[in-house]
Amino acid sequence: MQRVPSFLRRLAPALVLSASALIAPLAAHAAYPEQPIKMIVAYGAGGGTDIVARVMAPYIAKHLGNNASVVVMNRAGAGGGIGFAEIANAPADGYTIGFLNTPNVLTIPIERKSNFHWQNFDLLGNVIDDPGNVSVHADSPIRNLADLVAHAKANPGAVTYGTTGIGSDDHLAALMFERAAGVKLTHVPFKGAAEVHNAIASKQIIMAAMNIGEALQYAKGGTPLRHLGQMSTGRSNLAPNVPTFKEQGYDIVMASLRGIGAPKGLPAPVREQLVNAIQKAAADPEFQAKAAGYFAPLRYLAPARYEAELKESEAGFKQLWTQMPWGDK
């Protein structure tokens, strides 16, 4: 029998250990996800982001495979800052993802010190692009923007409006409108669109500044609302009967992107799985049909395009801050 040289006998255990070390990470990646994935929503339950997250979560899980589970968790407060920070500062292991809402995720670091920035996220894809809008209770005598301006001029500061927080798209659009119309409104910030909805439904505020998709959803649910104008370049196919601000003499365009991100530094295979699952979920006909039922305006953007749009928008909001700082308004 041929004997194995002694140096090979000494080397064999090391080779086995090295092979095991190489195989272990591959096995770990192949098993992802091995536990439920948290999907953070930085606003309260019942708002537009929350609803889309809960509708979409099962489809992301479906396209991840491996018996994946995606659990939606609300982390409302600070205009979205609490939830965004939790996503950014979680372990980069693929078990925490969440919705990133513009402009808040861009404007909060501009207006105040924060422990997150949009570049602190691995961007996984955008899902929603919802134009801004203002609505009043159907009992209100205000029927259009001209009526709103006349009422606000006759009653300076008496028109209260609700938004999802300082620096939100709703808030910035209202400030632009004040400036363009020469009126003074009173801002009432809330933790999410559901709270804004409750306030307008109970007539605690005169006007609700919320995205058109959310406003249509609440109206369908039975809240008597009159939509005064949408902030899109043209009338949305969701609301063809609602005139734009531009049609009514105010060139204001504002919308909220709602994309999905994760903490920066995901393992490449995990990031690829998540990106693919989100893309497939967004294109899933069953998900699209359910989203349409909630008036959710879908606009999928792949990570690179999503990043480019955030970068461009951030530059615009930085310029706006120099002209019209909104932090204390």
Question: What top-level class would CATH report for the domain 133-248?
Answer: alpha beta
- Check: CB of residue 259 under 8 Å from CB of residue 100: yes
| Beta strands in the chain, from DSSP E residues, in sequence order | 37-41, 70-74, 96-101, 121-131, 133-137, 160-163, 186-189, 207-209, 225-230, 255-263, 298-301
Residue 90 main-chain phi, psi, to 5 deg: -75, 160
* Calpha distance 280→302 (Å, rounded): 11
For residue 8, the model assigns a pLDDT of: 45
Structure tokens at 233: 């370049």
The pair of three-digit structure tokens given for residue 203, joined into one six-digit string: 């007539």
- CA 219, chain centre distance (Å): 21
pLDDT value of residue 31: 85
- Please compute the mean of the pLDDT values over residues 196-215 and round it to a whole number: 96
Give per-residue pLDDT as tens, 219-262. 999 999 999 999 999 998 889 999 999 999 999 999 999 999 99
Question: Distance between CA atoms of 157 and 153, rounded to whole angstroms?
Answer: 9
Whether 29 shows a pLDDT value over 50: the answer reads no
Confidence of residue 26 (pLDDT cuts 50, 70, 90): very low
Confidence band for 28, pLDDT divided at 50, 70 and 90: very low
Residue 30's pLDDT is: 57
Question: Is 310 a residue whose pLDDT tops 80?
Answer: yes
Please tell me if the domain spanning 36-130+256-323 has the same topology as the one spanning 133-248: yes
What is the strand order of the sheet 225-230 is part of? 186-189, 160-163, 207-209, 133-137, 225-230
Q: What is the mean pLDDT of residues 136-142?
A: 97
Q: Above 60 in pLDDT, residue 3?
A: no
**How much is the pLDDT for 147?**
98
Supply the pLDDT for residue 6. 55
Could you say which architecture CATH assigns to the domain 36-130+256-323? 3-Layer(aba) Sandwich (3.40)
Q: What is the DSSP letter of 28?
A: H
pLDDT recorded at residue 189 = 95
Query: Residue 155: which of 134, 185, 178 has the closest Cα?
Result: 185
Q: What confidence tens digit (pLDDT) does each residue in 266-302 have?
A: 999 999 999 999 999 999 999 999 999 999 999 999 9
- Among the ranges given (71-75, 110-114, 158-162), the one the predictor scored with the smallest mean pLDDT: 110-114
Among 6-15, 245-254, 305-314, name the one with the lowest average pLDDT.
Answer: 6-15
pLDDT on residue 236: 87
Determine the pLDDT at residue 1.
Answer: 46
pLDDT recorded at residue 238: 87
For residue 11, pLDDT over 80 is answered with no
Per-residue model confidence (pLDDT) at position 327: 76
Q: What is the pLDDT of residues 32-63, one digit of tens each?
A: 999 999 999 999 999 999 999 999 999 999 99
Quote the mean pLDDT of the chain. 91
144-191 pLDDT per residue, tens: 999 999 999 999 999 999 999 999 999 999 999 999 999 999 999 998
- CA dist 254 to 19, 182, 189, Å? 55, 19, 18
Domains of the chain, residue spans: 36-130+256-323, 133-248
In this structure, which amino acid lies at residue 214?
Answer: E
